[in-house]
Amino acid sequence: DVKVTQSSRYLVKRTGEKVFLECVQDMDHENMFWYRQDPGLGLRLIYFSYDVKMKEKGDIPEGYSVSREKKERFSLILESASTNQTSMYLCASSFTSGTIHEQYFGPGTRLTVT
Amino acid sequence: AQSVAQPEDQVNVAEGNPLTVKCTYSVSGNPYLFWYVQYPNRGLQFLLKYITGDNLVKGSYGFEAEFNKSQTSFHLKKPSALVSDSALYFCAVREALAGGYQKVTFGTGTKLQVIP
């Protein structure tokens, strides 16, 4: 079974803090993604990566950065957390080659910025 | 730009009755379509996908979805609902384009409530 793990289930941070969200997958997937999930807005893509050290902006990259130094690990960084970044953050991964592949999601990190 | 719409925020159905969760999509080329389910306090789980071929796709937990190109729809169905099917369901679309990674766009989600 594919496993995608996220470093924290719940996180509370103060405004202005630097926040690191970590994601690890164990299936050698090329692609990794960070989404945020908000009620009524569904999932919105923040950043994705299709290879080590490669990254692409998604729909809402402002206020975020990412790092992918190893194939299995994809980190989301909030440089200076703000209250409007309070949300559920979901990490996902998928294969590239062959047929069209579905994404595998982690359990999510619920971040509260106060 | 590709998009997907889930017109119902919530669907209520009695246990044992058939259920339908609606999804319509918009792409300029051929679509790849997905359904995911999210149980409370959990990440999303893949249910099924349409790539090409048979318009009726079967997936996990007895769910199926019907691809209708003329109506640009991909509705999720199950013949007999279970209370354990109560969850948040997301439709997603990826456009079939040549070269590179194509973004998957998710709908806003439909909450399914199965009433005992």
A window 60-79, beta carbon within 8 A of B: none
Contact between residue A67 and residue A78 where contact means Cβ atoms under 8 Å apart = no
Q: What is the pLDDT of residue A9?
A: 92
Distant-in-sequence, close-in-space partners of B10: CB < 8 Å, separation ≥ 6: B110, B111, B112, B113
Q: Closest Cα partner for B85 from B108, B63, B59?
A: B63
Distance in angstroms (rounded) separating the CA atoms of residues A62 and A67: 15
How many residues appear in chain A?
114
Write out pLDDT tens, residues B20-44: 999 999 988 888 999 999 998 788 9
For residue B10, pLDDT over 80 is answered with yes
Render A32-99 in DSSP notation, one character per residue.
Answer: EEEEEEETTTEEEEEEEESSTT--EE-S--TTEEEEEEETTEEEEEESS--GGG-EEEEEEEE--SSS
Closest-CA residue in chain A for B96? A100
Smallest Cβ distance to A108: which of B34, B43, B46? B43
Tens of pLDDT along chain A (114 residues) come to 669 999 999 999 999 999 999 999 999 998 899 999 999 899 999 999 988 988 989 889 999 999 999 999 999 999 999 999 999 999 999 887 666 788 999 999 999 999
Q: Does B53 touch chain A (CB under 8 A)?
A: no
Q: Does B57 touch chain A (CB under 8 A)?
A: no
Q: Closest Cα partner for A4 from A69, A113, A89, A86?
A: A89
Distant-in-sequence, close-in-space partners of B2: CB < 8 Å, separation ≥ 6: B25, B26, B27, B28, B31, B93, B94, B95, B103, B105
Which of B9, B33, B104 is most worth mutating to test chain A (most A CB atoms within 10 A of its CB)?
B104
Provide the pLDDT confidence category of residue B1 given band limits of 50, 70 and 90. confident
Q: How close A78 gets to chain B, by Cα (Å)?
A: 21
Q: Which residues of B touch A108 (CB under 8 A)?
A: 41-43
